[in-house]
Protein backbone atom coordinates (compact mmCIF):
# COMPACT_ATOMS: atom_id res chain seq x y z
CA UNK A 1 0.00 0.00 0.00
CA UNK A 2 2.02 2.98 -1.29
CA UNK A 3 -0.21 5.79 0.00
CA UNK A 4 -1.95 4.97 3.26
CA UNK A 5 -2.41 8.45 4.73
CA UNK A 6 -4.34 10.89 2.54
CA UNK A 7 -4.44 14.58 3.47
CA UNK A 8 -6.96 16.91 1.85
CA UNK A 9 -7.28 20.63 1.44
CA UNK A 10 -10.87 21.89 1.78
CA UNK A 11 -11.72 24.98 -0.29
CA UNK A 12 -11.42 24.19 -3.99
CA UNK A 13 -10.55 20.56 -3.32
CA UNK A 14 -13.53 19.07 -1.51
CA UNK A 15 -15.96 21.96 -1.91
CA UNK A 16 -16.55 24.86 -4.29
CA UNK A 17 -16.63 27.69 -1.78
CA UNK A 18 -16.23 30.58 -4.21
CA UNK A 19 -19.66 32.15 -3.71
CA UNK A 20 -19.40 32.37 0.06
CA UNK A 21 -15.80 33.55 0.11
CA UNK A 22 -16.32 36.13 -2.65
CA UNK A 23 -19.39 37.67 -1.04
CA UNK A 24 -17.68 37.87 2.33
CA UNK A 25 -14.57 39.48 0.84
CA UNK A 26 -16.84 42.03 -0.84
CA UNK A 27 -18.60 42.59 2.48
CA UNK A 28 -15.30 43.22 4.26
CA UNK A 29 -13.91 45.50 1.55
CA UNK A 30 -17.11 47.54 1.46
CA UNK A 31 -16.47 48.45 5.10
CA UNK A 32 -13.39 50.31 3.85
CA UNK A 33 -15.19 51.88 0.91
CA UNK A 34 -13.77 49.46 -1.65
CA UNK A 35 -16.01 47.91 -4.30
CA UNK A 36 -14.60 44.72 -5.84
CA UNK A 37 -16.51 42.83 -8.54
CA UNK A 38 -13.65 41.30 -10.52
CA UNK A 39 -13.95 37.51 -10.25
CA UNK A 40 -10.24 36.88 -10.76
CA UNK A 41 -9.39 39.29 -7.95
CA UNK A 42 -11.87 37.61 -5.62
CA UNK A 43 -10.59 34.13 -6.45
CA UNK A 44 -7.13 35.14 -5.23
CA UNK A 45 -8.48 34.93 -1.69
CA UNK A 46 -8.98 31.17 -1.96
CA UNK A 47 -5.92 29.36 -0.66
CA UNK A 48 -3.68 31.70 1.35
CA UNK A 49 -4.44 32.98 4.85
CA UNK A 50 -7.07 35.72 4.51
CA UNK A 51 -5.16 38.50 6.23
CA UNK A 52 -2.22 37.96 3.87
CA UNK A 53 -4.57 38.40 0.91
CA UNK A 54 -5.93 41.71 2.21
CA UNK A 55 -2.33 42.75 2.89
CA UNK A 56 -0.91 41.71 -0.49
CA UNK A 57 -3.74 42.65 -2.82
CA UNK A 58 -5.02 45.85 -1.21
CA UNK A 59 -1.92 47.07 0.62
CA UNK A 60 -3.60 46.88 4.01
CA UNK A 61 -1.11 47.14 6.90
CA UNK A 62 -1.03 43.97 9.00
CA UNK A 63 -3.37 45.21 11.73
CA UNK A 64 -5.88 46.57 9.22
CA UNK A 65 -5.68 43.30 7.26
CA UNK A 66 -6.47 41.31 10.39
CA UNK A 67 -9.34 43.68 11.18
CA UNK A 68 -10.65 43.02 7.65
CA UNK A 69 -10.66 39.30 8.43
CA UNK A 70 -12.87 39.96 11.44
CA UNK A 71 -15.28 41.89 9.18
CA UNK A 72 -15.17 38.97 6.73
CA UNK A 73 -16.06 36.54 9.51
CA UNK A 74 -19.08 38.62 10.52
CA UNK A 75 -20.82 37.43 7.37
CA UNK A 76 -19.00 34.16 6.75
CA UNK A 77 -19.66 32.54 10.12
CA UNK A 78 -23.44 32.83 9.78
CA UNK A 79 -24.13 32.95 6.03
CA UNK A 80 -21.07 32.48 3.84
CA UNK A 81 -20.08 29.10 5.23
CA UNK A 82 -23.26 27.64 3.74
CA UNK A 83 -22.84 29.33 0.33
CA UNK A 84 -20.88 26.29 -0.70
CA UNK A 85 -21.26 23.04 -2.64
CA UNK A 86 -19.48 19.70 -2.79
CA UNK A 87 -17.27 19.14 -5.81
CA UNK A 88 -18.38 16.34 -8.11
CA UNK A 89 -17.18 12.89 -7.09
CA UNK A 90 -16.02 13.85 -3.60
CA UNK A 91 -18.46 11.81 -1.44
CA UNK A 92 -18.05 8.67 -3.54
CA UNK A 93 -14.26 8.96 -3.67
CA UNK A 94 -13.90 9.53 0.07
CA UNK A 95 -16.14 6.53 0.72
CA UNK A 96 -14.02 4.35 -1.57
CA UNK A 97 -10.84 5.39 0.21
CA UNK A 98 -12.44 4.86 3.61
CA UNK A 99 -13.82 1.45 2.67
CA UNK A 100 -10.39 0.40 1.40
CA UNK A 101 -8.65 1.18 4.66
CA UNK A 102 -7.00 4.51 3.86
CA UNK A 103 -6.69 7.03 6.65
CA UNK A 104 -8.19 10.38 5.65
CA UNK A 105 -7.19 13.73 7.13
CA UNK A 106 -8.11 17.36 6.57
CA UNK A 107 -5.32 19.97 6.39
CA UNK A 108 -6.89 23.36 5.73
CA UNK A 109 -6.04 27.01 6.33
CA UNK A 110 -9.71 27.59 7.10
CA UNK A 111 -10.33 27.96 10.85
CA UNK A 112 -10.91 24.57 12.45
CA UNK A 113 -14.37 25.46 13.78
CA UNK A 114 -15.61 26.42 10.31
CA UNK A 115 -13.96 23.43 8.65
CA UNK A 116 -15.89 21.16 11.01
CA UNK A 117 -19.13 22.98 10.16
CA UNK A 118 -18.57 22.42 6.42
CA UNK A 119 -17.72 18.73 6.76
CA UNK A 120 -20.69 18.07 9.04
CA UNK A 121 -23.06 20.08 6.82
CA UNK A 122 -22.17 17.95 3.79
CA UNK A 123 -22.01 14.68 5.80
CA UNK A 124 -18.31 14.17 5.03
CA UNK A 125 -16.87 14.30 8.56
CA UNK A 126 -17.54 10.59 9.09
CA UNK A 127 -14.73 9.69 6.69
CA UNK A 128 -12.01 11.67 8.48
CA UNK A 129 -9.62 10.25 11.05
CA UNK A 130 -8.36 13.71 12.01
CA UNK A 131 -9.27 17.29 11.08
CA UNK A 132 -6.76 20.12 11.32
CA UNK A 133 -7.55 23.76 10.60
CA UNK A 134 -6.18 27.19 11.36
CA UNK A 135 -6.54 29.02 14.65
CA UNK A 136 -8.78 32.08 14.89
CA UNK A 137 -6.02 34.29 16.31
CA UNK A 138 -3.79 34.12 13.16
CA UNK A 139 -1.04 32.25 15.04
CA UNK A 140 -1.45 28.93 13.22
CA UNK A 141 -2.47 29.11 9.55
CA UNK A 142 0.60 28.44 7.40
CA UNK A 143 -0.11 25.41 5.20
CA UNK A 144 3.17 23.65 5.89
CA UNK A 145 2.64 24.04 9.64
CA UNK A 146 -0.85 22.57 9.34
CA UNK A 147 0.31 19.61 7.24
CA UNK A 148 3.20 18.97 9.61
CA UNK A 149 0.86 19.09 12.60
CA UNK A 150 -1.30 16.37 11.05
CA UNK A 151 1.74 14.20 10.36
CA UNK A 152 3.15 14.60 13.87
CA UNK A 153 -0.17 14.38 15.72
CA UNK A 154 -1.04 11.18 13.89
CA UNK A 155 2.48 9.75 14.25
CA UNK A 156 3.00 9.38 10.50
CA UNK A 157 6.74 8.79 10.58
CA UNK A 158 7.11 7.19 7.14
CA UNK A 159 6.47 10.24 4.97
CA UNK A 160 6.43 8.20 1.76
CA UNK A 161 3.06 6.74 2.82
CA UNK A 162 1.42 10.20 2.99
CA UNK A 163 -0.09 12.17 0.12
CA UNK A 164 -1.45 15.74 0.04
CA UNK A 165 -4.38 16.54 -2.25
CA UNK A 166 -5.02 20.20 -3.09
CA UNK A 167 -5.87 22.69 -5.81
CA UNK A 168 -3.43 25.58 -5.20
CA UNK A 169 0.29 26.19 -5.02
CA UNK A 170 0.05 26.54 -1.23
CA UNK A 171 -0.87 22.85 -0.96
CA UNK A 172 2.01 21.81 -3.20
CA UNK A 173 4.55 24.02 -1.43
CA UNK A 174 3.38 22.86 1.99
CA UNK A 175 3.62 19.21 0.99
CA UNK A 176 7.17 19.64 -0.32
CA UNK A 177 8.25 21.44 2.85
CA UNK A 178 6.94 18.49 4.86
CA UNK A 179 8.57 15.86 2.68
CA UNK A 180 5.43 14.28 1.24
CA UNK A 181 4.13 13.95 -2.31
CA UNK A 182 1.24 15.96 -3.67
CA UNK A 183 -1.62 15.77 -6.14
CA UNK A 184 -2.97 18.90 -7.79
CA UNK A 185 -6.64 18.67 -8.76
CA UNK A 186 -7.93 20.84 -11.61
CA UNK A 187 -11.52 20.88 -10.35
CA UNK A 188 -10.69 23.74 -7.98
CA UNK A 189 -9.25 27.23 -8.27
CA UNK A 190 -5.66 26.63 -9.35
CA UNK A 191 -4.60 26.34 -12.98
CA UNK A 192 -2.60 23.53 -14.52
CA UNK A 193 0.15 26.09 -15.18
CA UNK A 194 0.30 26.97 -11.47
CA UNK A 195 0.39 23.35 -10.36
CA UNK A 196 3.12 22.48 -12.86
CA UNK A 197 5.14 25.56 -11.96
CA UNK A 198 5.21 24.50 -8.31
CA UNK A 199 5.92 20.90 -9.29
CA UNK A 200 2.98 18.90 -8.04
CA UNK A 201 3.96 15.24 -8.20
CA UNK A 202 0.68 14.38 -9.91
CA UNK A 203 -2.02 16.45 -11.63
CA UNK A 204 -5.52 15.13 -12.29
CA UNK A 205 -8.46 16.75 -14.11
CA UNK A 206 -11.25 15.35 -11.91
CA UNK A 207 -11.36 14.69 -8.18
CA UNK A 208 -12.18 10.99 -8.58
CA UNK A 209 -9.02 10.53 -10.66
CA UNK A 210 -7.00 10.52 -7.43
CA UNK A 211 -8.10 6.92 -7.01
CA UNK A 212 -5.91 5.94 -9.98
CA UNK A 213 -2.91 7.17 -7.99
CA UNK A 214 -3.83 6.02 -4.50
CA UNK A 215 -5.30 2.63 -5.37
CA UNK A 216 -2.45 1.46 -7.61
- pLDDT 10s digits, 138-185: 888 899 999 999 999 999 999 999 999 999 999 999 999 999 999 999
The percent of residues in the chain predicted with pLDDT above 70, rounded, is 100
Contact 167, 187 (CB under 8 A): yes
Q: Are residues 91 and 104 in the same domain?
A: yes
Q: Are residues 139 and 196 in the same domain?
A: yes
Based on the residue annotation, tell me whether 59 is a catalytic residue of this protein: no
Q: Are residues 96 and 58 in the same domain?
A: no
**Residue 153, pLDDT score:** 97
**Residue 1, pLDDT score:** 53
pTM over 0.85: yes
**Residue 141, pLDDT score:** 82
Q: Are residues 98 and 191 in the same domain?
A: yes
Q: Please check the confidence at residue 199 and state whether its pLDDT lies above 80.
A: yes
Q: Are residues 158 and 182 in the same domain?
A: yes
Which CATH number belongs to the domain containing residue 44 in this structure? 1.10.150.240
Q: How many domains does the chain have?
A: 2
Which CATH number belongs to the domain containing residue 194 in this structure? 3.40.50.1000
Q: Are residues 64 and 166 in the same domain?
A: no
Catalytic residue among 9, 16, 142, 167: 9
Amino acid sequence: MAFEHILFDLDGTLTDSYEGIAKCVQYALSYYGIEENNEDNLKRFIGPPLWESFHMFYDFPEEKAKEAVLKYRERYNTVGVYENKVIAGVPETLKTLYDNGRKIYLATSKPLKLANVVLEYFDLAKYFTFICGASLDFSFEDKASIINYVLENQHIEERSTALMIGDRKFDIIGAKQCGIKSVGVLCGFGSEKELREYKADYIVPEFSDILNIIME
